[in-house]
Structure formats: structure tokens, C-alpha cells
Structure 1
């Protein structure tokens, strides 16, 4: 998929309703994303949002937070059968936008380019089931151990481990990562699954390394496994569980073993923008307190990963 801007009309609708701008706002909504950043519209949204004054003035003036995201990772963010972008991250971002008085505009990109997009200021934040790690906080490339940037701060909003899955009925005795030695695993490039597979492969004995095939997105990896091109796949637990439940009506895959290395997902914010980081943290705490966060988590059936407070840089 090429990078694009996704309209967030649902969030816009609720904010328009809140300020009572009836006919004019309705016309603006019908004309698409661009008109929703009209100066008067932004001013009304900011004025009526409880935490708008915590945002940097440049963000308030823009009326949006540009979000880098790999929109191919159901149920976290993906396109439904009608082409609409949906998911856990989209719903949480919409709720945060209600608190901050701005749109969270999702822009699609491959996962391993998102932090680079932050460095180049293409995005204001990255929100894409990104695990909060010390390497990412410190701008360290996990492959080379070399510093590649200033790093980012994370506002942690969910907890998830990593799972392995196979074609249904073809587990081949796979239950743990060590069972993948001498076998082929498919996964998404630049993810924690990718890091785990490489680390485990180094431990394999007798020359039976793990054959790793990495893809731009998880759906490509699933297609490869489904066609018989690998022995197993790996992704974050919510994603793997969703694939097992939905692919082929639940007939394609099955989870094996237990999820490992549970860690927080974080919203990545450039270190040189602590004001934006703190505004997002305050908004997340607000939706946790008012119950909106729990409603979203329950809607997607991922209650096991819910957090009770927003934390900054809680990853290890």
C-alpha cells in the first residue's frame, strides 16, 4: 500500500455535534477531510475539548496530529471489507482526539519506516502496535547495535506478547521458539517477532538454524503460510489470535504454545516534543478514567492487554 491520509469522519462528527454547528458543520463533513481543518472548525474543536490547551500551539493550529501507521495489522489497524480503516488504534486515537480537540490523521507506511518518518517530520507520532523497547527509546538499531537516531519517547497504552501459529492441523510438534530450529517461519519485518526469531536462531544447535522470511506486512506472511510456504508464522498475540479466528472462517490457522515476552505497545513521540508526549499521556489517562478506554478494549475482545494508567517509556 502507498502512504495515504485516512479521513477520520467519525471523530469529526462527534466533535461537531458537541459544539452544535449544525448545517454548516454537516456541509463541511460531506466535502471530505480537507474542509475539516478549516480554521473556524479547528478553533471550535479546541475551545470545547478539555485538554486542548496541553497541546503544542503548532498542533492546535493545524487541527490534526499526523499518525504514521502500518494499516495492515488486524485487529490493531486495518481496512475492513468496505475499505474503511478500523481497529483498536483507530478507536483509541479517536477517543484521544475528543480530549485534545484535534483529528488523528492516519498515514499508511511500512512498519520498519515509521520511526524514520518521525525523524523526517513526515509524522507527528507513530501508532502501530509498536512495542516500547529501550532500543527504540534510545535510537539503537536492534540488528547492528548502532545508534541511528535520537530515539523516541513512548506513551504506553496496551500490553501484548508474541505468539506462534501454524496451519490448522499441521503443528509439527511446535510449541516453543526452540521448536522452530530447522524450520521456516514467516513474519513481519522489523517487529519483535523478527527480533525473537533471529535471537532464537543463534541458539539453535547442530546447524539447524531457523529459516526466516520477513515481509512488509503481516497479511503477506499469513498468505505465505497459508499456501504451504512455511512451517509457522509469528506476530503479536492480538494479531495472531485475530488471524486464527477469522482467516478462512477459523479453518486456516491455529495458535501453538503460549505467548511470550509480554510488553507494552507505545505511541511513539519524538524526544524533542515533550509537550505533545505529555498531552497524549494526559488524554490517555482521561479516557481510562472516564471508561471510554475500557469500552474500546472490550469491543475488540482484548481485555487481557488493557492498562490501568498511561506510562511513559515503560518498556525494557
Structure 2
């Protein structure tokens, strides 16, 4: 999420690859999931002695048979809860496929997006997988606004490419067709995402008397609720999320995308800087499912096939 991160043929694209129309693959839940409670859900894969890449994992991970994943589980179609409360989406399906290669389960724990890397550094999660944009500030542990060090950076295993989009109420665009049109308007975003970073950068460009007001929320569903009620003029989110929301919310009657995607970048699985063996095992497993064709099938299921990459790389974001 984007801030929020993504992969492409050369995995260096940041988060703006054109992702195709999002298929309605699972019901969009509107319950907020951005709280910090560790509402754990596991991907539906079990440890297997025949897992071809299990030997690549660190010994402690092999022994536990589980990888704890920090994720903001309110970002359909990348990760969200279906009507039964099960965690579903693009990331959980990819995690299940990785688990079959590595012989472990990926257990998803819900948290607010802006706290996921803190949870990773503290040991609450072993990895973070949550539509997270791979960029230099996250790799280096630097605040993008101040340039100051805020913690140890992370490494990313890149796996998808996606951009950032704007959407408004359907039929009520308020003249918004691009980011400069947001000056004098109110934009709702998810806190800690690339969308928030872009909004702050755009706000600095606005002329006097046309302030861009930014409202940041714990999760994207809260931002959409604000837009739906008329409290904001637009929402910014990753294109796969924006397209899925526009297609599904209110039966397609609530919102519309305006303008073009911006800030193409890779999504990446975040791993601690010292956890290099796990990082490399995840990359090998991702490349294995890319080569087998399972990766492509999962992306097609969730309408994200246009963001596919030909190879997973480490720290491909800029």
C-alpha cells in the first residue's frame, strides 16, 4: 500500500504498472480491519516434507513451520476478509503458493499499515506483505518527509507492479482529472502510504489560496467512507484497489477513477535486513511459482495480471 510497493519484468518499476480491470473475485467487506489487534488468519497451505525449497529456509522457520505476516487486511483485492471472516486476496493466495514451495504456513496478522514495519522490526511479524511499495526510504529506514532515520531499513522481495490512482464519487468529479486539480480540494488517504506521500508533495506545489487538505485514515475503507459521505472530494489508493472498489462498491454506482495512474513502483515482501536467508528463500520460491505458471493464474484470479513481473528481484524499488 502504497504509503504503499511491486514487480515487473525487470522488477525495478516502482508502483505504477497498468493493472487490468479488477475481477470481482470475492465479496468486498466494508468492516474496518485496520486495528492493531492480531486477528490471525493462516493461508491454506500446510508444511510438507516434499516441499522442493524447504531446505533454503532458516532452521528456526523450518522448525516452527509458520511465518508470521504483518498485513493491513482491509485493502481489497490484495488482502481483505470475505463474508465468512476468512482472509482472502492476491497476497494470501501468493503466500499459500510460496508456502507449498517452502513447506510452511504463512499466518496473516492484521495491523494498521503505518505500523507494519515497526512490528517487523520489533519481532511481532517475521515479514510484512501488504501491497507495500518497495522504495528507497523504506529500504533505508528514512522518513520520506524529513529525510531523518526512523529505524532500521528492510529488504524487499519484489513480486508485482502497480501505480497510484485517484477516484471520486461517481458523476461528481469536482473537476479533478489529475493531481494538480486537487489544489483547493480535500483528499482522503490511508496513513503511511505512498498516496499520502504523493499528496504531501502535491500540496507543496499548490498556489496561495488553494490549499490541498489531506485527511489520513487508519485504513482505506475509512477513507472511502469519508468520500462516500461527501466529506472528501477524492481518495487516492493503489490502482488495483481503486479499480476493484470502483467495480464493486454499490454495484459500481459509488465511485469512478479520474485521470491516469502515477508513480509506478514494485510491491515487495518486507524482510528484516539481517534475515537474509529467509529473504533469499522467499525470492527463490517466488521465482519458482512465476516459472511454474501458478503466479500468473493467481494474478488473473484477482484481475492483476497486467502488473505481472517475469522475475522477482531484491530491492528493485527506487
TM-score by length of 2: 0.88
Render the CA deviation track for 1:231-257: whole Å, top value 9, x for unaligned: 111100000001100000000000000
Which whole-Å CA distance do the structure 2 matches of 1:259 and 1:84 have between them? 30
Counterpart selection for 1:313 from 295, 312, 315: 315
Query: What displacement does 1:144 show?
Result: 2.1
The residue number in structure 2 matching 1:11 is: 45
Counterpart selection for 1:74 from 63, 73, 76: 76
Larger Rg: 1
The alignment of Structure 1 onto Structure 2 pairs a total of residues equal to 283
The residue number in structure 2 matching 1:27 is: none
Counterpart selection for 2:130 from 108, 128, 131: 128
Render the CA deviation track for 1:96-149: whole Å, top value 9, x for unaligned: 000000000001100000000111011100000000000000000122211111
Query: What displacement does 1:7 show?
Result: 3.1
Query: Could you say what secondary structure the match of 2:77 adopts?
Result: coil
Which whole-Å CA distance do the structure 1 matches of 2:230 and 2:207 have between them? 25
Render the CA deviation track for 1:145-178: whole Å, top value 9, x for unaligned: 1111120000000000000000000012211110
Unaligned runs of 5+ in 2: 1-34
The residue number in structure 2 matching 1:243 is: 245
Pairwise CA RMSD: 0.8
Which whole-Å CA distance do the structure 1 matches of 2:42 and 2:277 have between them? 25
Contact 2:42 2:106 in 1 (8 A): no
Query: What displacement does 1:81 show?
Result: 1.7
The residue number in structure 2 matching 1:264 is: 266
Which whole-Å CA distance do the structure 2 matches of 1:107 and 1:302 have between them? 23
Query: What displacement does 1:11 show?
Result: 1.5
Render the CA deviation track for 1:174-205: whole Å, top value 9, x for unaligned: 11110000000001000000000000000001
Unaligned runs of 5+ in 1: 13-41
Which whole-Å CA distance do the structure 2 matches of 1:203 and 1:264 have between them? 26
Query: What displacement does 1:57 show?
Result: 0.3
Query: What displacement does 1:82 show?
Result: 1.8
Counterpart selection for 2:53 from 51, 54, 76: 51
The residue number in structure 2 matching 1:217 is: 219
TM-score by length of 1: 0.88
Render the CA deviation track for 1:2-36: whole Å, top value 9, x for unaligned: 2221133x313xxxxxxxxxxxxxxxxxxxxxxxx
Render the CA deviation track for 1:60-102: whole Å, top value 9, x for unaligned: 0110111000000000000112211100000000000000000
The residue number in structure 2 matching 1:160 is: 162
Counterpart selection for 1:174 from 159, 176, 179: 176
Greater relative contact order, per chain length (Cα 8 Å cut-off, separation 6+): 2
Contact 2:65 2:103 in 1 (8 A): yes
List structure 1 segments (4+ residues) > 4 angstroms apart after TM superposition: none
